[in-house]
Structure 1
Amino acid sequence: MIDRKLAPEFKAIDNINLIRPEHTKLDNGCNVFCFNSGDQELVRIEWIFSNLRFDAAKPLLNMAVNTMLTEGTRTLTAAQIADKIDFYGAFLQVDYGYENSQVTLYSLNKHLHHILPVIIDILTNSVFPEKELETFKRNQQQKLQVSLQKNDIVARRDFNKAIYGDTIYGLGASFDNYKSLQRNDMLEHFKKMYQPANCTLIIAGKIEPDALLLIKDTFGNDWTNGEIAADITQPEIQPATELFYFTEKPDALQSAIRIGLPTINRNHPDFQPMQVLNTVLGGYFGSRLMANIREDKGYTYGIGSGLNSFKQGGAFFIATEVGADVCRSAITEIEKEISLLKNELVPDEELSLVRNFMLGSLLGSLENVFSHADKFKSIYFAGLDYDYYDRYALTVKTTTAVKLRELANKYLNFDQFYKVIVGKY
C-alpha cells in the first residue's frame, strides 16, 4: 500500500528521450517524416507549406488562401467536404502561421482510403468561390472591429509593427486589406504555394504499413510539381526608429503595456540561456514580475515575458494589462526588476526552482507521439537538429547566476526597449 502521508520521492531529470522520425523524400520533392508510435489506430497527418514571400501590397494572401482551402474545390462544395470528413469520424483543420501554413487531418487508418482523395482534391483543386470569399471578408472585418476595441490586441499589433516593420511578422491587418482581396490573386497564390516541392508531410501515430503506402502513393504519384518554383524568401526586418507609442483611450479602466526589443532567435548560442533568464523574470507563475507586480503591488491579474523566435530574428517582450492609474508605476517596477537582474546574482534556491520548472515543463509536454512530432517541427523548420534538445537540458542545468547577469547586461538595455501603451499613461 502507498503511504499517502509521504510526498513522492524527488528525482532529477537526467535526459529526455525524443522519438525520431523516419525520413523519405518522394519523387515529386515532398519530404515525408513518420513518427510511428502509439497503441490506438489513429494517425495525424500534417501537410506543411512554407508561406510565399510577403507582399505589402497584398498582405493577406498567405492567410486568406490557407484559411479558405476547405471552402470548395472544382468537384466538392464546402458542405460536401465537411460531410465526407465527418462521416468517417475524422477531423480536418487548416492553420496559418507567420512562416508556414498547414492542413491537419486526424483519422483512423482504416478510413484513409476514403478521406485522402478529399485532401488531394483540396490541395490541387481549391477554387475559393466568390460567395464564400465575400462571407470570409465580411466575417474577418467584423472580428477585426471587435478586436480593435481590446487594448491588449492593439498594443500587440503596434509592438509587432515597430519591431518587425513591413514584414509578415509586423502585419496588422486593416479593413481595406480584407476589402482588397481578389479571387484571381488567391488562385495564382494557391498554384504557386501548394505544390509538393514546397510541402513537408509529417505523419504521427500508429501507422499501418498499408496506410503509409497509401499516403505515399496518393501524395507521391497523384500530385505533380508546380510549373513555377515557390518564392519563400522574406523581406529583411527593419525595426522602427521611434521607441515610444501611446494610444490614448480616455475612458479606459486598464492600460495595456507591451515593451521589449529585437533580439536573437533559437539559432543563436545565447538563446537557450536567455530562456532561463526569461523564465526567472517573467516566464512562469512564480516569476519575479508576477511576484512583484501581481502579488506584491496588485497592479494586474497577470504579467509575463517571452522570447519570439523566427527565421529572420527574434524579440524579447513583456506584456500585461494594469489599472490605468498605476501604468507609470508598473513600468517603473518592470525596469526595477530588470535592473536587479543586471546588478545582482540570482539566488541558488530560485535558480534551482526555475531549472526544475523548465525541465519538468519540457518533459510534461511530451505526453504522446503527436507532442514528439511537434518538438521535431520546432527544430526542423529552424534548420536545427536533435542536439538542440540535448543542449537545452544541459544548458538549463548548468547556466550559472553569473551567466544570467552577463546576459541581462548584454541583451536587456531598458533604454533601448520599444514601449507601447494603450489606454491611459
Structure 2
Amino acid sequence: MLDRTLAPHFGAIEHIKLVEPKHIKLPNGSNLYYFNSGEQDLVRIEWVFGNVRFNADRPLLNSAVITMLTEGTSTLTASQIADKIDYYGAFLQAEYGYDNSVVTLYSLSKHLASTLPVIKDIITDSVFPESELQTYIRNQQQKLQVSLQKNDVVARRTFNKAIYGESLYGFAGDGADYQQLQRADMLAHFKQMYQPSNCDIFLAGKIDDEVLNLVTDAFGASWANGPESADISQPAVKSSNELFYFIEKPEALQSAIRIGTRSINRSHPDFPALQVLNTILGGYFGSRLMANIREDKGYTYGIGSGMSALKHGGALFIATEVGADVCRDALSEIEKEINRLKTELVPQEELDLVRNYMLGSLLGSLENVFSHADKFKNVYFSDLDYAYYDRYTNVVKAITPQDVLDLANKYLDFDKMYKVIVGKY
C-alpha cells in the first residue's frame, strides 16, 4: 500500500525526448511533415500558409480571407461544408495568426476519404459570397465596437502599434477598414496566397500508408500552383518615438496597464535565458510581480509578463488591470521589481524553483503527439531545429544568479519601455 506519509521521489529532468517528424517534398513544392504516434485512429492535419505582405491600403485581407474561407465554394455553401464535416464527427478550424494562417482538420482516419475533399474544395475554390461578406463586415464591426469598450483591448492595440508601428504586427483596424473589404480583392489575395508553394502540411496522429496516400493524392500533383507566387516578405518594423500613452476613461473603475519593449525572438541565442528572466519577473503564478502587486499590495487580481516571438520581431511586455486609484502606485511597484532584478542577485532557491517550473512545464506540455508537432512548428518557423530544445534545457539548468542579473541589465530599462495606460492615472 502507498505510504502517504512519504513525499514522492523528486528527480531532476535531464533530457526531453521529442518525436521527430518524417518529411516528404511534394511535387508541387509543398512540404509535408508527419508525426506517427498514438493508438487511436485520430489524425490532425494542418495546412499552414505564410501571410502575404502587409498592404496598408488593404490591411484586413490576410485576416478576412482566412476567416471567410469556410463560407462557401462554387459547389458548397457554408452550411453544406459544416454539415459534411459534422456528419463524420470531424472538426474544422480556420485561424489567423500574425505570420501564418492555418486550416486545421481533426478527423478519424477511416473518414479522411470523405473529409479531405471538403478541405481541398475550401483551399482551392473558396468564392467569398457577397452576402456572406456583408454579414462578416457587419459582425466584425459590431464585435470591434464592443471590444473597444474594454480597457485591456484598447491598451493592447495601442501598445502593439507603438512597438511595431504601421506593420502587420502593429495594425489596429477600425470599422472603416472593414467597410473597404471588396470581394474582388479577397479573391485575388486568395489565389496568390493559398497555393502549394506557400503551404506546409503537418500530420500528427496514427499515420499509416493509407493516410499518407490519401493526403499526398489530394494535395500533391493534383494541386497546382498559380501563375503568381505569394510574396510573404514584410516591411521593416519601425517603432514609435513616443514612449508614454494615456487614454483617459473618466468613469473607469480599473485602469489597464501595458508596459514593454521591443525584444529578441526565438532565433536569438539569448532567448532561452531571457525566458528564465521573464518567468522570474512575471511569467508564472509565483512570480515577483504577482507576489508584490497581487498578494502583497492587493492592487489587482492578476499581473503577468510575457514574450512574443514573431517571425520579424519580438517584444517583452507586462500586462495588468489595477484599481484606478492605485494606478500610479502599481507603476512604481513594477519599476521597483524591474530595478531589483538589475541590482540584486536572485536567491538560488528562487532560481531553482523557476528552473524546475520551466523544465516541468516543457515536459508536461508534451502530453500527446499533437503537442510534439506544435513544438516542431515552433522551431521550424523560426528557422531552427531540435537542437534548440537541447540548448533550451541546458541553459535553464545551468543559468546562474549572475547570468540573470546581467540579462536584466542588458534587456530591461524601465525608462526606455513603452507605457500604455487606459482608464485613470
* TM-score bin, normalised by smaller chain: over 0.9
Q: Distance in 2 between matches of 1:62 and 1:231?
A: 12
C-alpha contact 1:44 1:104 (8 A) present in aligned 2: yes
User: Deviation per CA, 1:11-38, whole angstroms, max 9, x where unpaired?
Assistant: 1101000000000110000100000000
Partner of 2:238: 238
Partner of 1:125: 125
Q: How does 1:215-230 map to 2 (within 5 A)?
A: 215-230=215-230
Q: Distance in 2 between matches of 1:51 and 1:264?
A: 21
Displacement of 1:4 in angstroms is 2.1
Displacement of 1:222 in angstroms is 1.8
- Partner-residue secondary structure (3-state), 2:361: helix
User: Deviation per CA, 1:118-148, whole angstroms, max 9, x where unpaired?
Assistant: 1111111100000100110111111101100
Pair 1:157 & 2:152 matched: no
CA RMSD of aligned residues (A): 0.6
One-letter code of the match for 1:404? V
One-letter code of the match for 2:240? A
Q: Distance in 1 between matches of 2:73 and 2:284?
A: 45
Q: How does 1:303-322 map to 2 (within 5 A)?
A: 303-322=303-322
- Partner-residue secondary structure (3-state), 1:149: coil
C-alpha contact 1:365 1:371 (8 A) present in aligned 2: yes
Partner of 1:189: 189
Partner of 2:97: 97
One-letter code of the match for 1:283? G
Q: How does 1:6-405 map to 2 (within 5 A)?
A: 6-405=6-405
- Partner-residue secondary structure (3-state), 2:70: helix
Q: Distance in 1 between matches of 2:265 and 2:207?
A: 34
Q: Distance in 2 between matches of 1:159 and 1:187?
A: 32
Displacement of 1:86 in angstroms is 0.7
One-letter code of the match for 2:310? F
One-letter code of the match for 1:158? T
Q: Distance in 2 between matches of 1:133 and 1:209?
A: 40
One-letter code of the match for 1:320? T
Q: Distance in 2 between matches of 1:166 and 1:141?
A: 21
Q: Distance in 2 between matches of 1:339 and 1:24?
A: 50
Please list every run of 5 or more consecutive structure 1 residues that lacks an aligned counterpart in the other structure: none
One-letter code of the match for 2:157? R
Q: Distance in 1 between matches of 2:333 and 2:116?
A: 55
Displacement of 1:200 in angstroms is 0.2
- TM-score, structure 2 as length reference: 0.99
Displacement of 1:5 in angstroms is 2.4
Partner of 2:4: 4
Displacement of 1:388 in angstroms is 0.4
C-alpha contact 1:293 1:300 (8 A) present in aligned 2: yes
- Partner-residue secondary structure (3-state), 1:70: coil
After TM superposition, the structure 1 stretch with the greater mean CA deviation from structure 2, 106-115 or 155-164, is 106-115
Displacement of 1:385 in angstroms is 0.5
C-alpha contact 1:345 1:405 (8 A) present in aligned 2: yes
User: Deviation per CA, 1:309-364, whole angstroms, max 9, x where unpaired?
Assistant: 11122111000000000000000000000110000000000000000000000000
C-alpha contact 1:109 1:208 (8 A) present in aligned 2: no
- Partner-residue secondary structure (3-state), 2:300: coil
Q: Distance in 2 between matches of 1:75 and 1:415?
A: 58
Please list every run of at least 4 consecutive aligned residues from structure 1 whose deviation after the TM superposition is greater than 6 angstroms.
Answer: none
One-letter code of the match for 1:133? L
User: Deviation per CA, 1:57-102, whole angstroms, max 9, x where unpaired?
Assistant: 1110000000000000000000111111111111111011000001
User: Deviation per CA, 1:236-255, whole angstroms, max 9, x where unpaired?
Assistant: 00000000000000000000
How many residues are matched? 425
- Partner-residue secondary structure (3-state), 2:316: strand
